[in-house]
Chain A
């Protein structure tokens, strides 16, 4: 995991940054990179709807703001609902140009916000919904969510009784709503990520992006490992990069090497208690999920 990232096309966008310096994220936060890449594609004509999540704090304390776009803080479970209203009002005012970006964490998406998200997806609301996934309730101090992977320590899944359920298949759920566009992305692959944001930007209707964002604070990893961990997750097929159009066309956007997941697991303090035998089980489970994904790629839906 020591390879150097190639020069990024995304670096060209630095002259019109929409994420300011001086934000309030922890050092090495993956979610800040994700916001930066997404906003740099969507541009200044974007309204952000932000439910309770790490970004509620990252965005800064009143009257400062870390974003150069309008931002509305809202209740935990209402990202998709409030975005529905913002879109409706823009439409009523004849503004079809401005993008509405609902920006929620995994807790606000997989758990408490799932009903509103499902409603918006079913109605095919013309919004872009991003779930930045750091695999637990990090803002409240690392509690498990239904996105927390098996074996992970959190403050509510202590090492003596770690998380024992698979991550909820949020992409499967969103694909089942037959929305025009859904994709996974990871902050280690900004060109792939930004290409997907562009595709989302140029599609109308409900768009869903599931962005993998390692969290040094919650994962018990050094802050300078964040990008490499995201890359390791993708290459180990833990977090494959793909897109789904209309719930039917599934396509891989990056062929992972299929590295053993042991390297990915061993690099993180949250898995420190996990033994080799258990890692072997996780490897089997990862392989099984990958095979299922490949079947979907081949068959559609």
Chain B
């Protein structure tokens, strides 16, 4: 049934549909609507969840890890500083193979204080061993939350999904909300493999030498790579059941393109409008929405870029001293492939600055008319 939902509330509804057993969370703007709504749902008896209101994000994730190790489905949500505070436990939860699902509402990082949209918080966690989805709209948010549980529990890789602060978190859109029975059929109860169990006592995380340590790390890498196929399979299954899929990436009008714009999150919707306008003007421009960032879908991107000679990556994030992070990842992945387009790395919209169809068109025009800076330097676009 279609309902009008804010992005944060789309998350809460999906968490309810997923029959999550354990939630631990701490308030931070602009994530707070998620946990407020979940609190209301729990108080009304709509969901049967143990919901612990903890004293920090660090404890929120640590508690989820303990609960997941004890064999139940767990969820938490955070943003910005809260995600950064969790950093140590992000590594631990991934290493412990706990399939926690977490929503991060992208928010800029202080100082100075700024509550608006920027992706640096989650992208700075790219090496922690969590899979990462970047959502484009509220339907994507709800559907990806449901999918994330399934993918995480199959691969034992924890899942982070990301939505843009305010642009999605606090914006109301029509969202098709599945019936509970449909959600149950898609996402059966979690059946854990190795848990803390007094009938089969095991020690988890004991000290090891280099051999075991190396092998465990390698296996985590394999599992992360497996996500590419499993996430595609889960999305296809979802599409069969609900009539909509989202793809790991979503190319748009890339055929015969001179320039392909690569974006993520809500910027993709903006870029799609810009591509239509540019195509109307006879400019051969396409775009790709990158929905899955970890594992990085390099093969899919290379195929979608095809023979386009130029790529413009729009990054609402910054690796200080290097530039936009999506651009960096794409360049690294393309190196050594047959596809070797010129890659322009635009850094724009930091701290919630507007990214508009006009600014995307202007960036496209710049890329079409120029060659990229020789040292791969970011192109600052205010």
Contacts and interface: CB of A to CB of B under 8 A. Distances in A.
Interface in B51-101: 52-56, 58-59, 62-72, 74, 88-89, 92, 96
Interface centre among A45, A65, A70, A73 (most CB of B within 10 A): A70
Interface string A168-203: 000000000000000000000000000000000000
B212 interface: yes
A60 B207 CA distance: 7
Nearest to B48: A92
A119 B72 contact: no
Interface in A73-101: 73-75, 77-78, 80-93, 98
A73 B206 contact: yes
A85 B195 CA distance: 13
B74 A85 contact: yes
Contact of A116 (B62, B68, B206): B62
A87 B72 CA distance: 11
Contact of B24 (A46, A85, A90, A122): A85
Contact of B196 (A65, A72, A84, A123): A72
A260 interface: no
A77 B56 CA distance: 12
Contacts of B196: 47, 70, 72, 86
A68 B207 contact: no
A283 interface: no
Interface in A39-85: 44-47, 49, 56-57, 59-65, 67-75, 77-78, 80-85
B208 A61 contact: yes
B58 A85 contact: no
Nearest to A83: B66
Contact of A93 (B56, B58, B72): B72
B201 interface: yes
Interface string B178-189: 000000000000
A71 B201 contact: yes
A118 interface: yes
B22 A70 contact: no
B72 A89 contact: yes
A43 B136 CA distance: 51
B315 interface: no
Given A47-B70, A61-B208, A85-B68, A71 B55 contact: no
Contacts of A67: 201, 203
Chain A interface size, as a band, is 35 or more
A288 to B, nearest CB: 33
Given A69-B198, A70-B196, A72-B196, A88 B52 contact: yes
Contact of B22 (A49, A78, A89, A116): A89
A224 B130 CA distance: 48
A57 B203 CA distance: 12
Given A81-B58, A93-B71, A119-B56, A88 B63 contact: yes
A157 interface: no
A203 to B, nearest CB: 20
Nearest to B56: A115
Contact of A65 (B88, B89, B197, B206): B206
B235 interface: no
Contacts of A92: 21-22, 49-50, 67, 72
B70 A65 contact: no
Contacts of A77: 58
Contacts of A93: 21, 70-72
B355 to A, nearest CB: 38
Contacts of A65: 201-203, 206
B65 to A, nearest CB: 6
B182 to A, nearest CB: 23
A88 B68 CA distance: 10
Contact of B208 (A49, A62, A75, A116): A62
Contacts of B58: 77-78, 81, 116
A116 B66 CA distance: 13
Interface of A: 44-47, 49, 56-57, 59-65, 67-75, 77-78, 80-93, 98, 115-116, 118-119, 122-123
Given A65-B202, A82-B69, A92-B50, 16 more contacts: A44-B198, A59-B203, A61-B207, A62-B208, A70-B203, A73-B205, A75-B89, A75-B92, A78-B62, A85-B24, A87-B66, A89-B22, A89-B50, A89-B72, A92-B22, A115-B56
Interface of B: 21-22, 24, 49-50, 52-56, 58-59, 62-72, 74, 88-89, 92, 96, 196-198, 200-209, 212
10 contacts: A47-B70, A59-B206, A61-B207, A61-B208, A65-B206, A85-B65, A88-B24, A88-B66, A89-B70, A116-B56
